[in-house]
Amino acid sequence: MRPTVAPFPAARFRRLRRLSALRDLAQEHRLSTADLIWPVFVRDGEGVEEPIASMPGVVRRSVDRVVAAAREAAELGIPAICIFPFTDASVKTDDCVEAWNPDNLTNRAVRAVKAAVPELVVMTDIALDPYNAQGHDGFVVGGEILNDETVEALVKMALAQAEAGADILGPSDMMDGRIGALRAALEAAGHQHVAIMSYAAKYASAFYGPFRDAVGAAGALKGDKLTYQMHPGNSNEALRLVERDLSEGADMVMVKPGMPYLDICRRVKDAFGAPTYAYQVSGEYAMLQGAAERGWLDGQKVMLESLLSFRRAGCDGVLTYFAPEVARLLGRP
């Protein structure tokens, strides 16, 4: 049913734009602090906050500083943080064993945060790239990214993270069959309350560049991720992936990157109505921050406008490096 539009002058759209209060009343979509997931980078050390050159305003934090960030998130009303490890080249190996070490950086950070701020949701990343000497999300043998062997490793990684206390696991690797394998392993191990947010429609994107600097994977990575991440030209494939991951037991699904893929967010939400999230990735953040630093854009305004676009496109929430800044502006939900 199409809404009726009276001919001019009966219909004057400017009537409802005249006052700020009228605009508020007529506003269809809103951004709230409750929609934010804050990705944070953890590194080793004590009392360290180390800037990341390609992501102005974002730092790598030692575990104690991640705990401080978690307290800040809770105070600001941000519901969740997502932890990504910056691993030293010395722990990156071909067999990626550090990925399921119960005492690796991620798991130590998860335990510390859950002990200090139990009410804050902690999300983790499941993929081998921070621990892989080859920089890929899966095992590399003879130039090939192995699928099934990688899924077995992801299961070990997931169980270690669940054991550490993660509330949401975020498989970002794009291997086939991993959601079903993770869900079955979590159930069998008594972790039936742990949620999975599948990076279901994750594109092989050049917008991840600054992130790979942030986690120290840029130097290790040879080639691209086109044999496992999606081709940017595809859209129906995203729906099939989301359907597959939901049917295997994903609780939430993600589209990534964000702004260049808002059409995918909308299609996913319309098709399944599942809890749907977008990741405003490092390159999107860097573009906006870079232009704002030069005075070419109003940083605050483009930050809020870019995040509102995700809500309009049907997303229930957004992973964004702007989370604390936005929360300070918008206030507690």
- Catalytic residue annotation: 202, 256
Least CB distance from residue 85 to ligand PBG, whole Å? 11
The amino acid at residue 148 is D
98 binds ligand PBG (CB under 6 A): no
Q: What are phi and psi of 230, to 5 degrees?
A: -75, 150
Report, in angstroms and rounded to the nearest whole number, the Rg of the chain calculated over CA atoms: 20
Q: Is 41 in the site for ligand PBG (CB under 6 A)?
A: no
- Give the residues across from 85 on adjacent strands: 42
Q: Is residue 125 within the footprint of ligand PBG (CB under 6 A)?
A: yes
Residue 91: which of 224, 215, 214 has the closest Cα?
A: 215
Q: What 3-state DSSP class applies to 230?
A: strand
Asked if 35 interacts with ligand PBG (CB under 6 A), we say no
Phi, psi of 65 (to 5 degrees): -75, -25
Give yes or no for a contact between 64 and 46, defined as CB atoms under 8 angstroms apart.
yes
CA atoms within 13 A on the CB side of 59: 14
Work out whether 139 is an interface residue with ligand PBG (CB under 6 A).
no
Largest CA distance in the chain: 71
Q: Does 157 bind ligand PBG (CB under 6 A)?
A: no
Distance from C-alpha of 85 to C-alpha of 52, rounded to nearest angstrom: 13
Of 127, 200, 230, 253, the residue at the interface with ligand PBG (CB under 6 A) is: 127
Stretch of residues binding ligand PBG (CB under 6 A), selected from 121-129, 146-154, 178-186, 300-308: 121-129
Residues between 197 and 256 that touch ligand PBG (CB under 6 A): 208, 211-212, 225
**Contacts to ligand PBG from residues 265-294, by CB under 6 A:** 281-282
In the bound complex, what is the minimum distance in angstroms from residue 39's beta carbon to ligand PBG?
7
The verdict on 303 binding ligand PBG (CB under 6 A) reads: no
Encoded one letter per residue, x for contact with ligand PBG by CB under 6 A and - for no contact, window 167-186 reads: -----xx-------------
CB of 293 to ligand PBG, least distance (A): 18
How far is residue 259's CA from residue 12's CA, in Å, rounded to a whole number?
Answer: 31
For binding to ligand PBG (CB under 6 A), which residues are involved? 125, 127, 129, 137, 172-173, 208, 211-212, 225, 281-282
